[in-house]
């Protein structure tokens, strides 16, 4: 499998066309009518030096988070709910853009400083990103 660089506008267009938990590669395969399974062994994937990993990539690499997983932050008293997805590079993708770290992503949505590690909930596990990070560190012995 190869990695390509795309600009923010192209990435936003891919995110808009995504269905459910599709990652950008899935969108491109669908848009170009490539319905077969993707070829190549991803376990041997080498990232070029221009690849910039998001802060959630370590959680993906240990299997606690998957690309396309949904994150949610609820503010019940204000009646607001914010959501994001995790892309295959470990970035947080919201309606406002793509963020390397969870806190700026949530800050831009809520309009004030907020700890994204503590406040984003990983929907499929029901745990906060901080809890998942602590689990990863605990399991790795660091």
pLDDT score for 7: 84
126 and 85: one domain?
A: yes
17 and 85: one domain?
A: no
Any idea what DSSP says for residue 37?
P
35 and 72: one domain?
A: no
pLDDT score for 1: 61
26 and 78: one domain?
A: no
Whether 109 has a pLDDT exceeding 50, the answer reads: yes
Burial readout 72-107 (b: 16 or more C-beta within 10 A, e: otherwise) = ebeeeeeeeebebbbbbbbbbbbeeebbbbbbbbbb
Q: What is the pLDDT of residues 4-47, one digit of tens each?
A: 888 888 888 888 887 766 778 888 888 888 765 554 433 333 33
Q: What is the pLDDT of residues 70-105, one digit of tens each?
A: 999 999 999 999 999 999 999 999 999 999 999 999
The count of domains in the chain is 2
pLDDT score for 36: 56
Separation CA 110–CA 82 (nearest Å): 8
* Cα dihedral 22→90→64→15 (10° resolution): -20
65 and 133: one domain?
A: yes
3-state secondary structure of 12: helix
70 and 16: one domain?
A: no
């Amino acid at each position: 499998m190869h990695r390509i660089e795309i600009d923010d506008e192209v990435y936003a267009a891919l995110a808009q066309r995504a269905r459910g938990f599709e990652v950008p590669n899935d969108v491109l395969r669908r848009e170009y009518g490539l319905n077969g399974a993707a070829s190549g062994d991803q376990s041997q994937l080498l990232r070029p030096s221009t690849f910039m990993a998001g802060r959630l990539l370590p959680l993906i690499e240990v299997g606690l988070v998957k690309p396309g997983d949904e994150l949610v932050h609820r503010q019940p008293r204000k009646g607001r709910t914010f959501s994001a997805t995790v892309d295959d590079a470990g970035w947080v993708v919201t309606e406002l853009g793509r963020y390397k770290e969870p806190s700026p992503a949530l800050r831009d949505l809520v309009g004030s400083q907020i700890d994204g590690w503590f406040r984003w909930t990983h929907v499929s596990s029901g745990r906060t990103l901080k809890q998942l990070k602590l689990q990863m560190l605990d399991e790795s012995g660091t």
